């Protein structure tokens, strides 16, 4: 049952005036003229009109009220989203070996002539060396990905389809990548078009620490020895996402590994860097669109330092200082640091809890202004105060500029380590800028919070545990199941994996992330563990007859595909994955195989299971923590004879 909200503005002007006129005799029996020309009646009409306007406001809820409600719930309208893109640098002259620092300002002019500001997100060490070869070496052999690495609309898997220990990615350069600098920046363009985004974090802090371990090495040209590289920064989170990797120049004093180069290197002038998979555990084999040098990510924002803010309006009297407002030159504001006469003041959402001596201010990000207190709630700055701000502005839909936009350095005269200036470097985008969004309105924020209220954030029931585990930030949880037994809550987590992965296995880091997320939201006394699914391997032998119009080569593959598609953990059965604990009936599997075009008839089917299943009279039974995967499919298929005359 909902609350009955009272209507406070329940009387209109005429009713208020009529009631006031009826009360006149109770206060003055000499009042005889009730016509509009009477001054007393005129005064009553004015007061009735004022009363109606005040009563009308009682039922009005403004955006200021709504923002208060949002803050009471720990929420605020979201700020503008920053558009991002990748830019490529082409060094000229002596600039190879220099560094383009993080925060380097870029000016972008789109096709309409409008300009906006971008900044680089990280340092970029420039090099004259280019990547010519990309080779993956593993148990399955050697795969040359060089063409895919330099071709749009193509991607490759850095460590193959099934990454395992000692699988290695080799990068061959046409020159020494450390020839002019002690650092090397590699930009990894991750292919994520065919996979879901990981769950976002409400706080913005990542909660996933991969258990995968990588080792980067450089091959010395003089003796062929592999020398370890220091990873100064890994923005890819061990190849779980796109970003940049910064490697430091090898030190000859470091311990070296052998001199083997299991790569066909006909032009022996290549300089090699490799990345070895020391500890595997990828849920999704790393998929790469390209690995590039001399590239950086850039975001739609601009930083301003030491701007003196101008007061909005003028002071009529030296004492009228309360509620002063100062304006920024640019907006919307993403972050700001405000000082008054050299002293840093503190930003607060409002002055409700501020005292008369609290050096605080309220920042209006959309409008680009700062409001100070009135001496009762919040301290009043002096009349001659100097208000200075360091701030970052930007974001919004206007940052989504096309790839055809013109890019240049805002201040091309900036020197680079004494070796040339930014003007000696050509900058160009490698893609359009995307992801820019305008700031969230109060109405949209309220709708989002209402939706969020219907989402469980405290794990009490088994459905709560399933829902919360599936939203673990930083990872891609495809399916979950919850089993409660002996006061122990067991959450089975299955990660997303591409369709060609028959047995999706979560890594230790994946399980830790889910466990940590649940621990923060479970009831205090609950004992929770998070495990990988138990996989029951199936060996299926199929005897039957094929249709004569199909070639022999496709029969066995078609039968195996039919079995795998039916029992697949993520998209089998009804398309949502094989249900946890559901038994497999040989009659159902027979029907699945027989329904395939190449099969004319299935005469017999035999199923063997490994990994904790019980087989009873053609039924393979598993527990609620188990799923199936296909180990082997053996076929004994005879071709259906073609009748005389060529009929089928």
Q: What is the pLDDT of residue 266?
A: 58
With a cut of 90, say whether residue 268 has pLDDT above it: no
User: 380 phi and psi, to 5 degrees?
Assistant: -95, 125
C-alpha closest to that of 79 among 455, 352, 336, 432: 336
The 10s digit of each residue's pLDDT in 486-498 is: 899 999 999 999 9
Q: Contact 515/462 with Cβ under 8 angstroms?
A: no
Helix (H) or strand (E) holding 60: none
Q: Contact 288/149 with Cβ under 8 angstroms?
A: yes
Q: Please state, as a whole number, how many other Cβ atoms lie within 10 Å of the Cβ of residue 451.
A: 9
Exposed/middle/buried for residue 264 (C-beta within 10 Å: 0-12, 13-18, 19+): exposed
Q: Extract the tokens encoding 284.
A: 């999704």
The 10s digit of each residue's pLDDT in 457-469 is: 899 999 999 999 9
C-alpha closest to that of 172 among 224, 236, 219: 219
Give 62's pLDDT tier (boundaries 50, 70, 90): confident
Same fold, 127-293 and 455-531: no
With a cut of 80, say whether residue 276 has pLDDT above it: yes
Average pLDDT on 254-269 reads 71
Counts for the chain of helices (H) and strands (E), in that order: 10, 38
Q: Extract the tokens encoding 452.
A: 């969020």
Q: What is the pLDDT of residue 453?
A: 85
The 10s digit of each residue's pLDDT in 65-92 is: 888 888 888 888 999 999 999 999 999 8
The 10s digit of each residue's pLDDT in 366-425 is: 999 999 999 999 999 998 899 999 999 999 999 999 999 999 999 988 888 767 889 899
Average pLDDT on 444-455 reads 89
Domain spans, the chain? 13-60, 84-124+399-429, 127-293, 301-394, 455-531, 534-639
Q: Percentage helix, strand, coil, to 5, in the chain?
A: 20, 35, 50
With a cut of 60, say whether residue 537 has pLDDT above it: yes
DSSP 311-338: ESS--SSTT--TT-EEE-SS-SEEEEEE
**Who contacts 455 (Cβ-Cβ below 8 Å, separation ≥6)?**
467
Fold of 455-531: GMP Synthetase; Chain A, domain 3 (3.30.300)
What is the side-by-side strand order in the sheet with 333-340? 301-308, 387-394, 333-340, 343-344
Q: What is the pLDDT of residue 383?
A: 84
What is the side-by-side strand order in the sheet with 614-616? 584-585, 619-621, 614-616
Give 552's pLDDT tier (boundaries 50, 70, 90): low
3-state secondary structure of 441: coil
The 10s digit of each residue's pLDDT in 557-579 is: 888 888 999 999 999 999 999 99
Higher pLDDT: 225 or 489? It is: 489
Per-residue DSSP letter, 421: B
Which residue pairs, CB below 8 angstroms and at least 24 apart, start in 151-156?
A: 154/289, 155/191, 155/287, 155/288, 155/289, 156/287, 156/288
Report whether CATH 3.30.460 matches the domain 127-293: no
């Amino acid at each position: 049952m909902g609350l009955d909200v009272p209507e406070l503005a329940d009387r209109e002007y005429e009713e208020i005036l009529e009631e006031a006129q009826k009360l006149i005799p109770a206060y003055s029996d000499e009042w005889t003229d009730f016509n509009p020309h009477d001054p007393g009646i005129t005064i009553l009409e004015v007061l009735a009109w004022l009363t109606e306007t005040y009563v009308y406001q009682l039922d009005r809820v403004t955006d200021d009220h709504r923002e208060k409600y949002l803050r009471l719930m720990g929420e605020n309208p979201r700020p503008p989203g920053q558009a991002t893109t990748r830019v490529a640098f082409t060094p000229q002259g002596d600039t190879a070996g220099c560094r383009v620092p993080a925060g380097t300002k870029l000016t972008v002019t789109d096709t309409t002539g409008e300009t906006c500001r971008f900044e680089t997100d990280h340092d970029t060490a420039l090099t004259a060396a280019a990547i010519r070869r990309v080779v993956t070496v593993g148990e399955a052999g050697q795969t040359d990905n060089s063409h895919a690495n330099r071709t749009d609309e193509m991607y490759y898997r850095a460590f193959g389809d099934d990454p395992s220990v000692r699988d290695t990615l080799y990068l061959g350069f046409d020159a020494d990548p450390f020839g002019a600098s002690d650092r090397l920046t590699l930009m990894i363009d991750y292919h994520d078009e065919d996979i879901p985004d990981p769950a976002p974090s409400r706080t913005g802090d990542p909660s996933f620490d991969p258990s995968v371990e990588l080792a980067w090495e450089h091959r010395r040209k003089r003796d062929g020895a592999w020398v370890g590289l220091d990873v100064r920064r890994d923005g890819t989170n061990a190849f779980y996402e796109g970003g940049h990797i910064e490697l430091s120049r090898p030190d000859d004093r470091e311990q070296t590994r052998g001199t083997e180069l299991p790569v066909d290197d006909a032009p022996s002038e290549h300089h090699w860097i490799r990345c070895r998979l020391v500890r595997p555990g990828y849920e999704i084999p790393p998929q790469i669109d390209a690995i590039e040098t001399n590239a950086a990510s850039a975001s739609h924002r601009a930083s301003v330092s030491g701007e003196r803010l101008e007061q909005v309006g003028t002071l009529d009297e030296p004492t009228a200082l309360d509620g002063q407002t100062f304006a920024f030159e640019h907006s919307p504001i993403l972050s700001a640091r405000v000082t008054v006469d050299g002293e840093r003041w503190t930003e607060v959402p409002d002055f409700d809890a501020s005292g008369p001596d609290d050096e605080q201010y309220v920042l209006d990000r959309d409008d680009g202004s700062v409001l100070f207190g009135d001496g009762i709630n919040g301290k009043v700055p002096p009349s001659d105060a100097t208000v200075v701000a360091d701030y970052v502005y930007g974001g919004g839909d206007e940052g989504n500029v096309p790839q055809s936009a013109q890019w240049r350095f805002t201040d091309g005269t900036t020197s680079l380590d004494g070796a040339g200036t930014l003007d000696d470097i050509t900058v160009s985008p490698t893609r359009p800028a995307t992801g820019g969004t305008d700031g969230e309105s109060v109405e949209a924020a309220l709708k989002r919070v209402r939706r969020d209220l219907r989402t469980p954030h405290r794990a009490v029931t088994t459905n709560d545990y399933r829902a919360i585990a599936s939203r673990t930030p930083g990872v891609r949880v495809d399916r979950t199941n919850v089993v409660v037994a002996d006061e122990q809550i067991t959450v089975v987590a299955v990660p997303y994996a591409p369709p060609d992965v028959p047995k999706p296995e979560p890594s230790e880091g994946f399980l830790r992330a889910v466990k940590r997320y649940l621990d923060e939201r479970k009831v205090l006394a609950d004992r929770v563990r998070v495990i990988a699914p138990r996989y029951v391997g199936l060996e299926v032998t199929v005897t039957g007859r094929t249709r004569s119009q199909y070639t022999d080569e496709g029969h066995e593959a078609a039968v195996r595909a039919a079995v795998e598609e039916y029992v697949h953990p993520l998209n089998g059965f009804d398309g949502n994955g094989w249900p946890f604990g559901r038994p497999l009936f040989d009659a159902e599997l027979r029907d699945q195989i027989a329904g395939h075009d190449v099969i004319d008839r299935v005469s017999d089917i035999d199923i063997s299971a490994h990994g904790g299943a019980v087989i009873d009279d053609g039924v393979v039974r598993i527990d609620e923590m188990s799923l199936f995967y296909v180990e082997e499919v053996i076929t004994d298929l005879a071709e259906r004879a073609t009748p005389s005359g060529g009929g089928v």
